[in-house]
């Protein structure tokens, strides 16, 4: 009886309290601190926010930048999805994989790659000047931010819509044509409604990612501030109270956007009504159109890969050797030699690896157990566990970083607050919390597809709880666990948003060292760090893909 009580009540309650402490409690404390709760609830800090035009401007800019990011990403990703899923031409599979490549790379890598390629002293500008053209531009402001957002976020629309098209029943198009519907009518009355869940999901993901975006606004924003950069600026200037208010306002914007976009696709799904698995309907292109399509595909892939190729090139340029030439006159491995031979330069890589590893293991274990009870319990406690797993995804990373810094900067154990600021453990904790939606939600989805009689049968045969977990659940969930762990590790390995708020000199990760090298004008070293981060992420991505395929 006591064992049954522990497994059904005490363990899930303990998990809920733990998740509330690390995911919900910091947000609550930030809200209370923003209202100056201890001195007596007051709206003074919020009144100051309302009176400052720059704060409203940053909030408005965040809103329209995020909306335009959704539009631009859709304009790029949706046509690409139709092209690579519906058209048949040579190299389609290879090109289709290359088009999806930006999803596996850390955001900061893409940002600095754009800087080295399209910046005012980047490779493109130098090449044009080498041809005798007097050109100059500044990669700053809203246009630069939108360019980077569109480049890095169109992949969500591409993957979501292509996946939906792969499951599309072509007999619906044939039936529509037989009934005399035009192509445009077929698109708006048949195809678009069936793609609605995919479009809504991609829009939601792009909007939330753009609201939380920090790398592109920080590097390219200049005087154009959005809420994420405004929060960090306030904290660095010592205006902690205003940073908390800004964090609350950004969280409200994210939640409002989440609710609006969820109304577009409230959960119901249109069903195609097809029987069995329909064969894919692909258009075979021949002649001149085939050649043009093939050339355009490879040219597009080259354009997408150019930023990262440029990053590799810049990493091979020794210090102070590239001045006015269109192309670097000297290429060698000296930047990598400095990175690998000097202990202080190697430390950020070691920090990133151990912190990402610890956070991923913690998020995997906590996410699995929380998801297991959330799937088993048809009660408010189960729904609470499910909601707590999703909270870090709905809140921008900058907001969570400020919340953790607020909560764990005071030594009050009786109210759940301990001092973690300045210790090596706050940043891994932040990574763990931010990874919970990836590991926990993936486990939850997989567990809800399992037949519960599997565990019941093993229990009837005398297997204990630990035996059922290791011998039944873990082997079945292995692909899901590896997928969640791989994605969480890649995400935390290149994290910049949370790190810039919470890092110390001893715990600085690769992303912070990239920024430090740029400030010191050590461009080649910064590029070498970027390539290292890119290679580590790609290696994990490839290993993860092979393991999950087994």
DSSP 77-127: HHHHHHHHHHEE-TTHHHHHHHHTGGGGS-HHHHHHHHHHHHSTTSHHHHH
User: Each residue of 249-272: pLDDT tens digit?
Assistant: 888 888 888 777 667 655 444 444
Give the C-alpha separation, 123 to 162, whole Å.
Answer: 33
Give the C-alpha separation, 498 to 26, whole Å.
Answer: 14
Task: Give me the mean pLDDT over the 443-469 stretch.
Answer: 64
Task: Give me the mean pLDDT over the 289-315 stretch.
Answer: 79
User: Each residue of 195-228: pLDDT tens digit?
Assistant: 777 788 788 888 988 988 888 898 888 788 899 8
Long-range contacts of 333-338, Cβ-Cβ distance < 8 Å, separation of 24 or more: 334/524, 335/524, 335/525, 335/527, 335/528, 336/528, 338/525, 338/528
pLDDT at 277: 45
The answer to whether the beta carbons of residues 86 and 281 sit under 8 Å apart is yes
User: At residue 441, does pLDDT exceed 80?
Assistant: no
pLDDT at 427: 93
Give the C-alpha separation, 404 to 308, whole Å.
Answer: 34
User: At residue 113, does pLDDT exceed 80?
Assistant: yes
Confidence band for 275, pLDDT divided at 50, 70 and 90? very low
Between 151 and 447, residue with greater pLDDT? 151
| Poorest-pLDDT segment among 69-83, 96-110, 231-245, 455-469 | 455-469
pLDDT at 78: 86
User: Each residue of 459-495: pLDDT tens digit?
Assistant: 555 655 666 666 667 777 777 777 778 878 888 888 8
**Domains annotated on the chain, with CATH:** 9-28+333-550 (1.10.3720.10)
The answer to whether the beta carbons of residues 465 and 7 sit under 8 Å apart is yes
User: At residue 432, does pLDDT exceed 90?
Assistant: yes
Q: pTM of the entire structure?
A: 0.81
Task: Give me the mean pLDDT over the 53-59 stretch.
Answer: 88
Return the percentage of the chain with pLDDT > 90, whole number: 9
pLDDT at 128: 77
The three-class DSSP label of residue 274 is coil
Confidence band for 429, pLDDT divided at 50, 70 and 90? very high
- Euclidean distance between the first and final Cα of the chain, in Å? 40
| Poorest-pLDDT segment among 232-236, 367-371, 443-447, 506-510 | 443-447
User: Each residue of 335-379: pLDDT tens digit?
Assistant: 898 888 888 888 998 999 999 999 999 999 998 888 888 877 777
pLDDT at 343: 82
| Poorest-pLDDT segment among 106-120, 310-324, 450-464, 487-501 | 450-464
Residue 259's Cα: distance from chain center in Å? 19
Confidence band for 273, pLDDT divided at 50, 70 and 90? very low
pLDDT at 410: 86
Round the average pLDDT of the chain to a whole number and report it.
79
Torsion, CA 118, CA 124, CA 129, CA 132, rounded to 10:
-140
User: Each residue of 73-88: pLDDT tens digit?
Assistant: 999 888 888 877 776 6
């Amino acid at each position: 009886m006591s064992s049954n009580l522990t497994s059904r009540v005490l363990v899930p309650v303990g998990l809920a309290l733990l998740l509330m402490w690390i995911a919900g409690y910091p947000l609550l404390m930030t809200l209370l601190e923003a209202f100056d709760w201890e001195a007596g609830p007051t709206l003074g800090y919020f009144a100051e926010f309302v009176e400052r035009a720059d704060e409203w401007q940053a909030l408005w800019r965040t809103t329209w930048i995020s909306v335009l990011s959704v539009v631009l990403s859709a304009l790029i990703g949706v046509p690409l999805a139709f092209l690579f899923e519906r058209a048949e031409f040579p190299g389609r599979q290879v090109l289709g994989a290359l088009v999806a490549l930006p999803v596996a790379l850390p955001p900061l890598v893409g940002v600095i790659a754009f800087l080295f390629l399209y910046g005012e002293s980047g490779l493109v500008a130098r090449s044009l000047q080498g041809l005798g053209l007097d050109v100059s531009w500044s990669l700053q402001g809203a246009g630069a931010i939108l360019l980077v957002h569109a480049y890095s976020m169109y992949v969500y629309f591409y993957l979501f819509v292509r996946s939906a098209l792969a499951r599309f029943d072509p007999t619906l198009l044939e039936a529509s044509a037989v009934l005399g519907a035009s192509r445009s009518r077929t698109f708006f009355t048949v195809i678009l409604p069936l793609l609605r869940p995919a479009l809504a999901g991609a829009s939601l993901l792009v909007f939330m990612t753009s609201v939380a975006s920090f790398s592109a606004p920080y590097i390219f924003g200049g005087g154009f501030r959005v809420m994420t950069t405004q929060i960090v600026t306030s904290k660095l200037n010592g205006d902690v109270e205003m940073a908390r208010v800004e964090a609350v306002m950004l969280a409200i914007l994210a939640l409002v956007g989440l609710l609006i976009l969820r109304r577009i696709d409230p959960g119901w799904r249109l069903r195609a009504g097809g029987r069995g698995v329909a064969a894919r309907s692909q258009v075979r292109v021949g002649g001149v159109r085939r050649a043009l399509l093939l050339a355009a595909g490879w040219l597009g892939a080259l354009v997408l890969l150019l930023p990262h190729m440029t990053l590799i090139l810049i990493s091979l340029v020794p210090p102070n050797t590239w001045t006015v030439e269109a192309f670097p006159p000297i290429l060698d491995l000296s930047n990598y030699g400095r990175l690998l031979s000097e202990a202080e330069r190697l430390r950020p890589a070691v920090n990133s690896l151990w912190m990402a590893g610890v956070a991923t293991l913690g998020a995997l274990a906590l996410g699995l157990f929380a998801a297991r009870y959330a799937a088993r319990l048809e009660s408010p406690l189960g729904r609470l566990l499910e909601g707590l797993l999703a909270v870090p995804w709905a809140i921008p990373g900058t907001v969570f970083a400020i919340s953790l810094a607020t909560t764990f900067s005071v030594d009050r154990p009786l109210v759940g607050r301990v001092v973690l600021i300045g210790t090596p453990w706050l940043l891994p904790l932040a990574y763990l919390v931010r990874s919970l939606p990836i590991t926990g939600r993936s486990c939850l989805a997989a567990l809800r597809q399992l037949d519960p009689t599997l565990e019941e049968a093993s229990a009837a045969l005398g297997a204990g709880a630990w035996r059922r977990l290791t011998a039944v659940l873990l082997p079945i969930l292995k692909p899901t666990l590896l997928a969640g762990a791989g994605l969480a590790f890649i995400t935390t390995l290149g994290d910049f948003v949370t790190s810039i708020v919470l890092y110390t000199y001893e715990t600085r990760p690769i992303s912070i060292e990239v920024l430090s090298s740029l400030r010191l004008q050590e461009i080649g070293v910064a590029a070498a760090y970027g390539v290292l981060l890119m290679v580590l992420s790609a290696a994990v991505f490839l290993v993860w893909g092979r393991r999950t395929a087994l």
